[in-house]
Amino acid sequence: MKKLVLFVSILSLCQIKAQIDPVKYPTFTNIDEAINSKKTVYSMSFREKGLFNLPPQISKLNSLFFLNIMGNKLEKMDQEIFALTELEILNVNENSIKYIPDEIGTLKKLNTFSMNLNGLTSINPNVAKLQNLKAVHFDANNLNVFPEALMEIPSLEEINLQGNQISIIADRLKRIKHLKFLNLSENQINDLGNLSFPKNLKYLELQQNAIVKLPENLFKSKNLEFLNVSSNGITELSTRIGGLKNIVSMNLANNKLKNIPEEISQLKKLKTLILTGNPIDKIKIERLRNLMPETQIYF
């Protein structure tokens, strides 16, 4: 699993780098070259340098908007980071950091914050001060509850919490009004109650948990396009499934479903339905295929 998260984190970094003009904003990898540069330094990477601490001189680079310190041996976030108040993108993936300091709240301009593959057991409440955040990546840590601080940041569009130990989610998700992408796969969720979801949500990943029943409120998600709840213990689907009017892809593989409600045929935009690994009779599958000729059904 951690290899997969590592791949995803590297992919995310590549996507972030693609947003940076390498001519206008060259990325420095040597602190001395950056300090002595006659041009303003906007982007700095210490990726996989074997660092235990950041060079103290980095605090002089007060125009930095991109900092990549992934793949080092850091056990804490050095105070020099918090002097970089122009930071917009911070990548701290693949270190050994166990907590986020209170000073994180000083990075008011941060819009992308990645701390995959560390040792976080909780998220500092001061993260809620980062009201410009658009994306957070806390995959493969040791979180056991959904971070409350994230529910106080309505600007968030993407939350990645894959591969933690989350079992508890307070029913305040809908406060993240602009959330479009939510990844809670590979956690320990077994009961979602009747959790409400943000109305703008488009992508929801809940695969590889221990979910037995999907919350009724999920089927009010009219903007949801991609849903993955494979490899859980789901025994039945609500007849309200027809409320997912814009769903394009639904992965229900490897659950305990014996029946699929006919109301699923109301999903006119559904192109892909994955039902492999469920104890459903083939006759029921054929009936479903007749009801949904425009949907590719995998069984």
Together in a domain, 38 and 62: yes
Q: Which residue has the tokens 């984190």?
A: 9
pLDDT value of position 6: 44
Give me the mean pLDDT over the 228-240 stretch.
98
- Inter-residue contact 123 to 146 (CB < 8 Å): no
pLDDT (tens digit per residue) in 26-61: 999 999 999 999 999 999 999 999 999 999 999 999
pLDDT value of position 20: 67
Together in a domain, 117 and 214: no
Together in a domain, 240 and 172: no
pLDDT value of position 19: 58
Other beta carbons within 10 angstroms of residue 225's beta carbon come to: 18
Together in a domain, 161 and 202: no
Query: Domain end: 142, 169, 188, which one?
Result: 188
pLDDT value of position 147: 98
Together in a domain, 230 and 246: yes
Together in a domain, 154 and 221: no
pLDDT (tens digit per residue) in 100-120: 999 999 999 999 999 999 999
Range of the domain at 208: 192-299
pLDDT (tens digit per residue) in 136-172: 999 999 999 999 999 999 999 999 999 999 999 999 9
Q: Which two tokens stand for residue 3?
A: 């290899």
Together in a domain, 79 and 181: yes
Together in a domain, 136 and 197: no
Which pLDDT band, with edges at 50, 70 and 90, does 24 fall under?
A: confident
Together in a domain, 229 and 290: yes
- Inter-residue contact 163 to 5 (CB < 8 Å): yes
3-state SS of 228-246? ECCCCCCCCCCHHHHHCCC
The DSSP symbol for 42 reads -
Sign of CA dihedral 252, 253, 255, 259: positive
Together in a domain, 161 and 260: no
Q: What is the CATH number of the domain that holds 263?
A: 3.80.10.10
Query: Domain end: 188, 223, 258, which one?
Result: 188
- Quote the number of domains for the chain: 2
The letter for the amino acid at 9 is S
pTM for the model: 0.92
The whole-chain average pLDDT of the chain stands at 94
Together in a domain, 208 and 129: no
Query: Domain end: 188, 211, 241, which one?
Result: 188
Q: Where would I find the beta strands (DSSP E) of the chain?
A: 27-28, 43-45, 66-68, 89-91, 112-114, 135-137, 158-160, 181-183, 203-205, 226-228, 249-251, 272-274, 296-298
Together in a domain, 246 and 181: no
